[in-house]
Structure 1
Amino acid sequence: MREDGNGAPDVGAGGTAKAVSEDQRQRGLLKTGALQTAILNSANFSSIATDEHGIIQIFNVGAERMLGYAAADVVDRITPADISDPQELQARALALSIELGTPITAGFEAMVFKARRRIEDVYELTYIRKDGSRLPAVVSVTALQDAADAIIGYLLIGTDNTARQQVEAERLRLDAVLKESHVELKKAKVAAEEANLAKSDFLSSMSHELRSPLNAILGFAQLMETGAPPPTPGQKDSIDQILQAGWYLLDLINEILDLSLIESGRLSLSPEPMSLAEVLADCQAMIEPQAQKGGIRVYFPDLDGPWLVRADRTRVKQVLVNLLSNAIKYNRVGGRVDLRVGAAADGRTRISLQDTGEGLAADKLVQLFQPFNRLGQEAGAQEGTGIGLVVCKRLVELMNGSIGVDSTVGVGSTFWIELDATAAPHLTAEPADTQLAAPAPAVPGSTLRTLLCVEDNPANLMLVQRLLERRPDIRLLSARDGRRGVEMARAFRPEVILMDINLPGISGITALHILAEDPATALIPVIALSANAMPRDIEKGKQAGFFHYLTKPIKVGEFMDTLDLAFKHALAASQPASL
């Protein structure tokens, strides 16, 4: 593209700028379509969209599962008010009329009155299922607008509130009992622990359910990206969009789970003396591709030592990468980010990141660390959820640190964190993150090795099969449940076993224990490959005795590297001990 004397693009020759704009629009449509499909196919929440008059236009899989209606029963036929408790809607209309000082009609108007005025609205209501039963739900209502800000409909996202009401009823019952007898205090404590455990189980299940389809999406996209023959430029663009949207969705899942764990008090941290110099080197390697793509210059300090702080290394890296990513995303074209490290008051160390973005006004700064608040950037070109900074703040505070921001409109912003400095005589550092290289192809005539994959999901099994088509030195066996997997391990004695955790019949952990107790299979390294990706799930798997624990979605390089390591371990274990 040419530029005129003022640096503006010359779009007169060949319509180049128009072609680029159309290409960007097509890519945006592809990404939006993929995310919309993922939302519509989710069975974990109801998503009901109406037109401006309230007539239902979209009724997703989750809504069908929760309410018993098929989409064809309700689309273009009724409003959400027609499947809601009418007495509750009357009570809501009366309450809103008093609160807002204006008459509000019971029915659909009461459901969307606040949203119509761009007021955030989340409330409880009771849906009436097709069979007449009642479903308590928490509903978030949002007005849908066109490019001219005119309302074209409403989106109602609902979650089942039965469990919460049951827990609340149980809590009230226990409170009443506690007033009568001090002995019941222990019962209340047990009930609270069970409620927390139930929440963790729910989060683990949610993570698993979302990661399983993502594994197929991202796994096969990586296969197409690196396949032979290589994809055409057009196909490459499409694959890049799928991968970008998929990894973004995975980041979103991780952020929501992190926030939920933090707020439930179940996030475990490992504070220890750690080197900021080493962590910043890791961050530089991780953030460099994003900076180059955005044309942003990022300057890291040349530190005169390790600069030790007491914190959780993994979480410090998570916070810094998030802040760096934001500084790049919301910068101006050709901008820069300057990262500095220095001593602060009270024996602390300050890490600051100064950008050359648009800056934030005072009214925006006070809203900065609110969950799901993107400060008016929802319609912008940059993706985001409004969760990342909230997670950063919680993590820094859990590490006994502090976080803040200074900003000037038109000049830029400086985000900073402060952590406790320390002077440890010895520091055990984790290895820096590296890009795992794909294993080399097998040498003709090399020994054929056997891998048993125990996996009940057909798409995930097919992904493993396609990956191993590139490895003619590996013979793949498969089993669809844990018991069959144990039988095949005993019959074929594979060198390595790839084991899912959630299997029909017996779990992968139970199958692992059976194999470990049998002398014939005890030495076979078993790799867990699971969508159970919560920290406590991974720790549980490691304690169970898995050789390695891989989480879905698969990263192809890491997967292949782990297989090679397991085969090497199996070969070493099969050799007779030297005298």
Structure 2
Amino acid sequence: MCVLLEVGHARKKFNSVYDEIASVTVNGQFRLKNSNRSIALLLSAVLLIALAATVSFRAIGQMEVAAEARSHTRHIINTAEGMLFQLLDAETGQRGFALTGDEAFLEPYLSGREQISDYFADLRHKVRIQASQTHLDTLSPLIDNKLAELAQVIVLRQKSQLADVLALVKSGHGKRLMDEIRFEINAMVQIEESALAQLELEYQSSMRLLFFIFLGVSLLALLSVLTFAYLIYSKSKERLKDLLHVETRHLLELQEAMNTQLQQANNVALENEEKLAVTLSSIGDAVIATDNKARVTLLNPIAEQLTGWTQAEANGRSIDEIFHIINKETRQLVTIPVMETLEHGTIQGLANHTVLIARGGREYDISDSCAPIRNHDGLLVGAVLVFRNVTDEYAVQHALCIQQLELEAQNNELLQSRAALDASQARYFDLYDRAPVGYLTLSESGLIIEANVSAAVLFDIDREVLVKQSITQFINKDDIETYYQLRKQLMATGDPQACELRLRKSADELLWTHLSISSALDAGMPVVRMMLTDISARKHTEEAFLKAGALQQAIFNSANFSSIATDASGVIQIFNVGAERMLGYAAADVMNKITPADISDPQEVIIRAEVLSVELGTPISPGFEALVFKASRGIEDIYELTYIRKDGSRFPAVVSVTALRDEQNTIIGYLLIGTDNTARKLIEEERAQLDLALKAKNLELENARVVADQANLAKSDFLSSMSHELRTPLGAILGFAQLIESGTPPPTPNQKRSIDQILKAGWYLLELINEILDLAVIESGKLSLSMESVSLAEVLHECEAMIEPQAEKRSICVVFAKPEQDYFVKADRTRVKQILINLLSNSIKYNKTGGTVTVICSVSHPDLIQISVRDTGEGLSTDLLAQLFQPFNRLGQKSNVEEGTGIGLVVCKRLVELMAGEIGVESTVGIGSVFWIKLKLTDEPKSSLHADDAVVLDRLQNQGGEQRFTLLYVEDNPANLMLVEDIIARRPDIRLLSAKDGNAGVALARKALPDVILMDINLPGITGISALKILADDQLTAHIPVIALSANAMPRDIERGLAAGFIGYLTKPIKIAEFMQTLDATLKIATGKLPGTHIEEV
């Protein structure tokens, strides 16, 4: 320990030497600073560094400006290229949708439109070069036109107008736009890249300048530092030599003193080790010492003997190699105490039942303990394990335990013998009293001397009362003679006797018993032992079995079905009365003589054998085996068969076969139950005849339906023709009336009143025509509905605006209650609006002046919403309500000044029902009526493409600029042509051309190439649809949008026109405002300012 302290002092000394050297260095620096040469050198270095820093900061500033400019230019280039890539992705998605119709391809287009606008706005904000700004100005209309062209193709594809899509793509308009966009973007990118190259040159120049500055400054600074360091080093080196010489002499003196102390410590350690070795050799316990790594450092002789390892062999080995211990009872390895001691630093000891397995495999019972070894500082440096052999001690203890257990076992056997004897006696008396039979002991005279508890219970009296009674008083008088005969036989033979007789339990209750008697001696006196067993339950059961057997036999013999039982070979053993009646045989005629196959149709039996052979894949011989083969295999078998009666007559029967088995599951016979199937066969024949009659009736009905369909078709053709003939002159009347009304100069008040009457009458006549057509289409079952998710709030808002003028004329207050939320229904939007307008119009029409109409929406069911229209009119009686939904029935309003046909509500009812809804009315005379409809609720729809297209339309409509358009109108009716000429005359930006037949229209379209074509359908020569096909097939005119303008207003006519390829379908008579709105939208499509879409019928 002293040596270690001296070494520590020496280290401290050495460290102090280095501290002195450091202080010398610092002092040397101080002295050098006082030197004129050092000061001059330092000042020069500082000035150079300051100059270099100034120049560097300036160069870095120029580089930052250049870097910012480069980053700005790169951003512009990347944004331009990104905008081009987005446009290409949108075009690719559009092409995928056009080819497949899968809207998943539209994702790049839908997401790309907004990003393209953002890209363009970013470029417009950040482009600084005038030439690039010029290219951006050129790009703006090109990108808008390209987006419009993409949207037009998408909408055409959504309408399934593949021909129009193909024509639009083949026109090359989209490719030209994309080529121009790509050219302008590439040109702008080239300008920006040129600017970027110039900035890159400036940046590289600044970098080279900065590099040379840094290089020069670094070289000068390095030279100054090296010079300064050399001066410090030369001064410090001389001082260090002197200090090292002095310190080395001092360390040598310390080392000599330390060697002397170490020699003394070694002598003391050797003496202690000799004492320890003697101690360990002389103790009787085994000792093993380890270091803190559990490596063996010491084994005393006892440990060597028990483990089988010597000190030399075990030294340095891990403790678990030489010290193997297990649990004596479980034979599982036990944790060595050394490990626990080294881990926790505490004394450890094992419980008993520990076995040490020596190196040679010998086992010792041991007890052990382990303690930690610590140094002077308290640090854990090892462990000492002490254990001893306790095998002999355990053997002695084991022998003592065995002797003690043997003594305890003998004592237990003695106690058990005594307890068994006591229990045996108790059991005897308990068995005697509690036995389930009655025991009596009688005297020779028949008096009861002794009785058990069961006997008293049997007679239902106390045991004390039963004793001393005569047994004969309990025996039924009808059975007393039997008892005397039994006693007589006992006395004659001396053998036990038994019989069954009845005992009186009470005055009204008899008890059947099995009575057995025997003679015996009791205390030298002769006695009779009697045992009574209650057999009343068995007697009752036997009686019930007899009754059930009789009942079963009666049912068996009186049944209306045949029941035939056979033995295992098929010979009949049982033949019930039902079989006798059904087959005409007596049971004696067939039992033990024939099999069921002998009374069956032999040909059917052969066929059944062949069919079953094929079905089950095993040969079956015709005969009885064919009748019972499936039942013998455990398969349920019910089949039809013809039975032959004794007189030779035949009848169909349904036979059910069951195999009869014994307790070993061996077949002992078969049961065949048959029923006469004659009645069912007759019913089946009658049913077949009825089926034939029904087929004939169905054929008759089908012929009638064909005739009805032909009549409906003729009616539809008539209505279509009538609609066309009525709409054509009506179109001229209403069209010119609208022109006069809006003309310049305006009409006089008298003329205005006349025009209003013309328009009112004309529009009313058109409404009547539409209602009749709607009813006809609905009744024919050919109405096509466009079911979608419809916002009730939007529809009600539109209805409110449409009905407001009618309500103001009558001073009717119409209130639309605001719904709790925006509900959506699954319906046809147009038809829902038609229904609500009709209900609202009736509520206003038949209301009192100054009355009120209230519209309320309420959820009547989780999946239904009810729209109620409440008025304050006169109301309807019960009789009128019953006639409400009859066609052309105006409920007595024919003399009323209000106009109407009586079919509006009928159309509403049919339309609501077609949309899976309900319609109803509640009315009170003098108070008013409530008409309501119920429609199915649905989820709010996702945003659609049409809303986005409307945004594009608004944006394009807001763009200024005049453009002259050419419109071609193909019409053979002069009045209609004159009307359109007058309408177009008010639009100086549109030039109108006309043709009077389809062929002339096609020729003029090829020559003039108009922007839009208006086409009548019923034209001389070729129809408008044929003319449209010719134009679409001609590459020169395929791109021109064509609007149908026809008096054919049936829904099937409109559908046929749109399917043919018309971009829109207008019906005559036209409304000028709506006509011009459709025409303007189509002109924008034609010029690429609006995505192409179908313009729906107005």
TM category (shorter chain) comes to 0.5 to 0.7
In the superposition, relative to structure 1, how do residues 569 and 274 fare at CA in structure 2: closer, same or farther (>3 Å)? closer
The aligned counterpart of 2:804 is 288
Q: Structure 1: state its 5+ residue gaps.
A: 1-175, 575-579
Q: Secondary structure of 2:783's match?
A: coil
**1:482 maps to amino acid:** G
Distance in 1, Cα, partners of 2:761 & 2:698 = 55
- CA distance in structure 1 between the partners assigned to 2:1002 and 2:939 by the alignment: 51
Instruction: Give the deviation of 1:353 after TM superposition.
Output: 1.0
Find out whether 1:463 has 2:979 as its counterpart. Answer: yes
Which of 896, 904, 926 is the aligned partner of 1:410?
A: 926
Q: Equivalent residue for 1:126?
A: none
Per the TM alignment, residue 401 of structure 1 is displaced from its structure 2 partner at its CA by 1.6
Q: How does 1:252-263 map to 2 (within 5 A)?
A: 252-263=768-779
Normalising by structure 2, report the TM-score.
Answer: 0.34
1:100-499 to 2 correspondence within 5 Å? Answer: 179=696, 194-345=710-861, 347-424=863-940, 426=942, 447-499=963-1015
Which amino acid in the other structure matches residue 331 of structure 1? N
Say whether 1:502 aligns with 2:987: no
Match of 1:524 among 1040, 1057, 1067: 1040
* 1:37-95 Cα deviation digits (max 9, x unpaired): xxxxxxxxxxxxxxxxxxxxxxxxxxxxxxxxxxxxxxxxxxxxxxxxxxxxxxxxxxx
The sequence identity of aligned pairs, in percent, is 65
Q: Secondary structure at the match of 1:263?
A: helix
Query: Which deviates more from structure 2 when the two are superposed, residues 296-305 or residues 418-427?
Result: 418-427
Equivalent position SS for 1:516: helix
1:554 to 1041, 1046, 1070: 1070
CA distance in 1, matches of 2:990, 2:823: 47
Shift of 1:309: 2.3
Q: Which one has more relative contact order, counting CA pairs under 8 Å at least 6 apart?
A: 1
Amino acid aligned to 1:341: C
Cα deviation 1:494-546 (Å, max 9, x = unaligned): 22211101101100010011111112211112111111111111111111111
Give the Å deviation of 1:195: 4.7
2:1067 partner amino acid: T
Counterpart contact for 1:273–1:310, Cα < 8 Å: yes
- SS, match of residue 572 in structure 1: coil
Are 2:1017 and 1:538 aligned? no
1:191 to partner: Cα distance: 6.2
Residue identity opposite 1:403 in structure 2: I
- For residue 464 of structure 1, report the CA deviation from its aligned partner: 0.8
Asked if the contact 1:360/1:408 (under 8 Å) is kept, the reply is yes
Cα gap change, 1:334/1:395 in structure 2, threshold over 3 Å: closer, same or farther? same
Q: 1:521 to 1:353 in 2, by over 3 A?
A: same
Distance 2:872 2:835 in 1: 20
Establish whether residue 572 from structure 1 lines up as the match of residue 1088 from structure 2.
Answer: yes
Q: What is the count of residue pairs matched by the alignment?
A: 388
Asked if 2 retains the 8 angstrom alpha-carbon contact of 1:455 and 1:503, the reply is yes
Q: TM-score w.r.t. structure 1 length? A: 0.63
List alignment gaps of at least 5 residues for structure 2.
1-692, 1091-1098
Determine the structure 1 residue equivalent to 2:631. none
Tell me by how many angstroms 1:463 deviates.
0.5
In structure 2, do the counterparts of structure 1 residues 427 and 191 end up closer, same or farther at CA, with 3 Å as the change threshold? farther
* 1: CA distance, partners of 2:946 / 2:1035: 35
Q: Tell me, yes or no, if the aligned pair for 1:273 and 1:427 is still in contact at 8 Å.
A: no
Partner amino acid, structure 2, of 1:237? R
Q: Distance in 1 between matches of 2:731 and 2:698?
A: 52
- How many angstroms apart in 1 are the aligned matches of 2:785 and 2:980? 34
Would you say the 8 A contact 2:1002–2:1031 is kept in 1?
yes
2:789–2:941 contact (8 Å) kept in structure 1 = no
1:534–1:231 CA distance, 2 compared to 1 (3 A):
same
Structure showing the higher helix proportion among its residues:
2
For residues 346-380 of structure 1, what are the alpha-carbon distances to aligned partners after superposition, in whole Å with 9 as ceiling and x for unaligned?
74211111111111122221111111111221121
- Partners of 1:387 and 1:366 in 2: CA distance: 15
Tell me, yes or no, if the aligned pair for 1:275 and 1:429 is still in contact at 8 Å: no
**Gap change, CA 1:373 and 1:464, over 3 Å in 2:** same
CA distance in 1, matches of 2:963, 2:942: 45
Q: Could you say if the C-alpha distance between residues 180 and 252 of structure 1 is closer, same or farther in structure 2, counting changes exceeding 3 Å? A: closer
| TM-fit CA distance, 1:404 | 1.4
Kept in 2: contact 1:523–1:573 (CA 8 A): no
Between the aligned partners of 1:185 and 1:381, the Cα distance in structure 2 is 45
Change (3 A) 1:189 1:322: closer
Q: CA deviation at 1:493?
A: 1.8
Asked if 2 retains the 8 angstrom alpha-carbon contact of 1:274 and 1:427, the reply is no
Q: Describe the shift of the 1:451–1:179 C-alpha distance in structure 2 as closer, same or farther (beyond 3 A).
A: same
Contact map agreement 1:327 1:357 (CA 8 A) in 2: yes
Q: Which moved more, 1:545-554 or 1:223-232?
A: 545-554
Which digits, 9 at most, give the CA deviation of each residue in 1:288-344, with x for residues without a partner? 111112110000011121222222222111111100001011111111111111122
CA change 1:427–1:495 in 2 (3 A) is closer
How many angstroms apart in 2 are the aligned matches of 1:427 and 1:524? 30
Please tell me whether the aligned partners of residues 819 and 856 of structure 2 are also in contact (alpha carbons under 8 angstroms).
Answer: no
Computed over aligned residues only, the root mean square deviation of the Cα atoms, in angstroms, reads 2.9
1:429–1:375: structure 2 CA closer, same or farther, 3 Å change rule?
A: farther
SS in 1 for 2:884: coil
Summarize deviations over 1:414-454 as a string: whole Å, max 9, x none.
111112233456476998xx9xx9xx9xx9x9554322110
Listed one character per residue, the Cα deviations across residues 75-117 of structure 1 (whole Å, up to 9, x for unaligned) are xxxxxxxxxxxxxxxxxxxxxxxxxxxxxxxxxxxxxxxxxxx
Q: Is the 2:788–2:826 Cα contact (8 Å) retained in structure 1?
A: yes
Say if 1:447 and 1:271 are closer, same or farther in 2 by CA, change over 3 A: closer
- Residue 498 to residue 233, structure 1, CA distance change in 2 (3 Å): same
Q: 2:879 & 2:908 partners in 1: Cα distance?
A: 21
* Distance change >3 Å, CA 398–CA 566, structure 1 → 2: closer
Structure showing greater radius of gyration is: 2
CA contact (8 A) 2:868 2:932 kept: yes
The match for 2:398 is none
Q: Retained in 2: the 8 A contact 1:215–1:554?
A: yes
Q: Which amino acid aligns with 2:903?
A: I
